[in-house]
Chain A
Amino acid sequence: MGAIFNAQQIVNGLQVGSIYALIALGYTMVYGIVRLINFAHGDFYMLGAYAAYGAFFAFNALFVGKTGLMAFVVLIASMAAGGVIALLANRLAYKPLRYKPKLSSLITAIGVSMFLEYFLSALPAVGPSYRSFPDILPRVNINLGNAVISNYVIIDIVIAAVLMVGLTLLIKKTTLGKAMRAVSQDKDAARLMGIDIEKVIAFTFLIGGSFAGAAGLLAGMTYPRIVPYMGIQPGLKAFIAAVLGGIGNIPGAVLGAYIMGLAETFASAYNSLIGEGIAFAILIIVLLVRPRGLLGEKIADKI
């Protein structure tokens, strides 16, 4: 059992979990506010990785020797790309369907996802092949005796934590956050109170998309190869994490993501041939016992 449940495997699981968490936050926010499962969310993550890649090569010459500043610029580029594309997707694809049957938006989300993947593959500047992601920061391994942590793992976990805390503060303490909560509870009542719901929804997409973009950068740095289809699998896993934690619930998404990351790691270590199957079996069991997810609120059926 020593090779399966040990400090190193916990570190491995937390790292996987932090990337899922950043993606899951966007899923859960959008669902909480517009009740839309935005399947294109994984592609905002991919766009974040490509934006970081582009920004690195565009500005690398300007920041020679200033790796910290460079990393910051790249982070902003990835978040901006994820956020702006999410905003555009909302404006062009989801808004016109806002009051149409839910299924139309869902299918459109799948369409947006495929469009982004294939459009980028067709662009000569991006292309369908793998690209190797540059080492933006030097890699340092820290030996803790019974576990090795790379500085990338720490960066992943810290950036994920900072963004999550920031988001929680935004939702709990600001007027905008209050408006977001109001829209998620009752759109019509919120509108009657003078809240511009479209503005709130747009803002939600912007934040969710920018978080996914940041996750893309972290994934690119940690697993240094990027491809237009890289968002599909993490997107699905993060969606499952959001459901596991209780979709629409922000701490739930983070909790679900870390559970997914750890479960996947332990399961793969226990038996790598059926590893992922075990992780998904856990999900099914949790949902059977607690269909609203771990932290999901019990919502009375709306009439």
Chain B
Amino acid sequence: MKRLSLILVLILVAASIVTAQDIKVGGVGPVTGEAATFGVSTKNGIMLAAEEWNAKGGLFNNRKVRIIFEDDKGDPAEGATVYTKLIQQDNVVAIIGTVMSKVTLAGAPIAQAAGIPMISPTSTNERVTMVGDYIYRACFIDPFQGTVGANFAFRDLGARKAAALFDIGNDYTKGLAENFRAQFLRLGGQVVAFEGHPAGATDFKAQLTKILAGKPDVLYVSDYYNDVGLIAKQARELGFKGPMVGGDGWDSPDLVKIGGTAVENGFFTNHYAAADPRPIVQEFVKKYTAKFGAEPDALATLAYDAANIMFDAIKRAGSTKGSAIRDALKTTNLNVVSGQVTFDANRNPIKSAVIIEMKAGKQVYKTTVNP
């Protein structure tokens, strides 16, 4: 009996020595449920990044990274459970996740309390990083897109009179429109109309007629694609020929299906464009497409970037201690697919956005706008 337990102890010790070589990092995303495609893309992005680091010999001291990926099902309660499991049962040193802001907001306090650094690839809600000093994100937050949209409209399109239309029931579209207006005015432009519409509306002609009476050079539409399609169609019907600008809510193949040719001469801000000529983008698109059989979307890209930012921080920390990784994250200055990333005091990334143009029913990379 004594000998048996001695052997057992030896096996356990040996096992822990072997696994101690690997650095365990948690990954979280909604692989099933309402946002399943988001979760799959996120997992793919993280796995690809981990594979590349391991092929180069690991994070530090030849220690490889091992991803333990959990499904949060897009549900905050489930999110809290898997964060706890990763931290307490799997003893991960850091977490990359998760996608939806509401779920990230459930998981972040758990990571913060345990002193485990985490980075969310795509949660845009401002409150996420305010949870605490261990919480970072890889995507820009909503207000930034409005600012970039205004810069682009004023400088690149040469617009001097702008109008905005947004959904009054949605903080995302409202926030973008408000930031667009603020920046456009700051640049010296004129905002001739600032109109809202109720959530779920299908007829926008009352607002558009009023907007077009002010003869704007550009129309800022921060809605999601299915509303943008209808708005574009009705604006063109009422005789508006100028450019329309929007945010990443436009990023869907359905935009053209609903809006048809009306969305031509439309531009939107996005995290990344597959056609961006920067070598790091092209290399990533090639590798991702070869491995997963589809072009990476913004979610896959940001997950890949988030993983790289985290691995880079662990490498620079040269330690698996939470506080050391946190301090390394703070001084990040890394070239990733979605741009050159540094962090501000609120742990939000400072990086460029791309402008995508709708041309002949396709998304075409237009330019990169710096903050």
Contacts and interface: CB of A to CB of B under 8 A. Distances in A.
Interface of A: 2-4, 6, 8-9, 12-13, 15-16, 130, 132, 135, 139, 141, 143, 148, 150, 219, 223-225, 230, 233, 264-269, 272-273, 275-276
A277 to B, nearest CB: 9
A268 B197 contact: yes
A130 B228 CA distance: 13
A139 B206 CA distance: 20
Contacts of B209: 3, 6, 8-9, 12, 269
Interface string B207-218: 101100110000
Contacts of A15: 203, 205
A224 B237 CA distance: 13
B232 to A, nearest CB: 11
A12 B238 CA distance: 10
A9 to B, nearest CB: 6
Given A219-B202, A225-B229, A266-B206, 5 more contacts: A132-B258, A135-B260, A148-B237, A268-B206, A269-B210
A12 B214 contact: no
B197 A8 contact: no
B346 interface: no
Contact of B196 (A132, A266, A272): A272
B192 to A, nearest CB: 10
B229 A4 contact: no
A139 B213 contact: no
B205 A12 contact: yes
Contacts of B355: none
B254 A130 contact: yes
B258 A265 contact: no
A219 B197 CA distance: 18
A268 B198 CA distance: 9
A141 to B, nearest CB: 6
Contacts of A219: 202
7 contacts: A3-B214, A4-B210, A8-B205, A150-B237, A223-B202, A269-B210, A272-B206
Contact of B239 (A2, A3, A148, A264): A148
Contact of A275 (B206, B226, B238): B206
A132 B195 contact: no
Given A132-B254, A132-B257, A135-B260, A225 B200 contact: no
In the A-B complex, the 8 residue pairs with the smallest Cβ-Cβ separation, listed nearest first, are A3-B213, A132-B257, A223-B202, A268-B206, A12-B205, A272-B195, A265-B206, A132-B258
A294 B324 CA distance: 74
Contacts of B210: 3-4, 269, 272
Given A3-B213, A273-B168, A276-B198, A148 B238 contact: yes
A12 B200 contact: no
B233 interface: yes
A143 B237 CA distance: 10
A235 B258 CA distance: 23
A6 B213 CA distance: 11
A275 B168 CA distance: 11
Contacts of A3: 209-210, 213-214
A274 to B, nearest CB: 9
Nearest to A128: B34
A272 B207 contact: yes
Most buried by B among A135, A139, A268: A268
Nearest to A268: B206
A282 B196 CA distance: 20
A225 B237 contact: no
Contacts of B207: 268-269, 272
Contacts of A4: 210
B148 interface: no
A130 B196 contact: no
Nearest to B200: A233
B82 interface: no
A139 B200 CA distance: 24
Contact of A224 (B195, B203, B230): B230
Interface in B169-215: 195-198, 200, 202-203, 205-207, 209-210, 213-214
A160 to B, nearest CB: 15
B168 A139 contact: no
Given A3-B209, A8-B238, A139-B237, A223 B203 contact: yes
Contacts of A12: 203, 205-206, 209
Contacts of A266: 206
A148 B213 CA distance: 13
B229 A132 contact: yes
A139 B258 CA distance: 14
B169 to A, nearest CB: 11
Nearest to B202: A223
Given A9-B206, A12-B206, A264-B206, A272 B229 contact: no
Interface string B232-246: 010001110000000
A141 B233 CA distance: 12
B204 to A, nearest CB: 9
Contacts of A130: 226, 254, 258
